[in-house]
């Protein structure tokens, strides 16, 4: 890893420590999803937004310009978060381009690309995942982080 990679991993780890919620209900999932749609609409971003509580999909929206392939990316990113207990971007930055080979995981089922972020509740742990797909991976991640940070404050 280069110094830049180490710094990025440290920043992503700090983001995850920062964003721990007190609760996460279906109503809160709806509020977070609507916030993400609002941010994407303001910026005219062609993204798909997905929120899970456990394995249940509780919010899903696709903006104009998003494509059906975004749904496949979402599924693969969500699996990565649940398996590794960290954002898909952090997992990818820790393991690099050889992620799937290192872990012997099929590319058709796991994607360590930015955009899926674990929803953690204090004293409970990971209770869900919020995901954005449609932009370059760093931008997908940044949009999710921005929305979660606003939502948590």
Say what the pLDDT of residue 2 is. 39
Quote the pLDDT of residue 71: 98
pTM of the model: 0.94
Please tell me the distance from the alpha carbon of residue 26 to that of residue 15, in angstroms, as a whole number.
23
The per-residue pLDDT for range 116-136, each reduced to its tens digit, is 999 999 999 999 999 999 999
What is the per-residue burial (b if ≥16 Cβ within 10 Å, else e) of 88-113? Answer: bbbbbbbeeeebbeeeebeeeebbbb
**How far is residue 150's CA from residue 52's CA, in Å, rounded to a whole number?**
19
E strands present in the chain: 20-21, 48-53, 56-62, 116-121, 125-133
| Alpha-carbon separation of residue 117 from 27, 48, 124 (angstroms) | 18, 14, 16
- Distance (Å, whole) CA 33 – CA 102: 33
Q: Which two tokens stand for residue 55?
A: 């394995």
Domain annotation for the chain: domains and CATH numbers: 3-152 (3.30.450.150)
The segments of the chain whose pLDDT lies below 70 read: 1-4
């Amino acid at each position: 890893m280069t110094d830049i990679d180490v710094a990025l991993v440290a920043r992503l780890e700090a983001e995850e420590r920062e964003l721990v919620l007190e609760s996460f209900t279906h109503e809160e999932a709806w509020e977070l999803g609507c916030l993400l749609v609002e941010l994407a609409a303001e910026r005219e971003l062609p993204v798909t937004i997905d929120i899970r509580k456990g394995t249940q999909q509780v919010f899903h929206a696709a903006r104009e310009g998003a494509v059906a392939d975004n749904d496949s990316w979402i599924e693969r990113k969500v699996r990565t978060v649940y398996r590794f207990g960290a954002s898909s971007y952090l997992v990818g930055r820790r393991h690099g381009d050889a992620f799937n080979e290192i872990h012997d995981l099929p590319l058709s089922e796991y994607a360590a690309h930015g955009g899926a972020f674990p929803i953690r509740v204090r004293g409970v742990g990971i209770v869900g995942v919020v995901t954005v797909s449609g932009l370059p991976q760093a931008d997908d991640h940044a949009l999710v982080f921005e929305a979660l940070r606003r939502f948590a404050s």
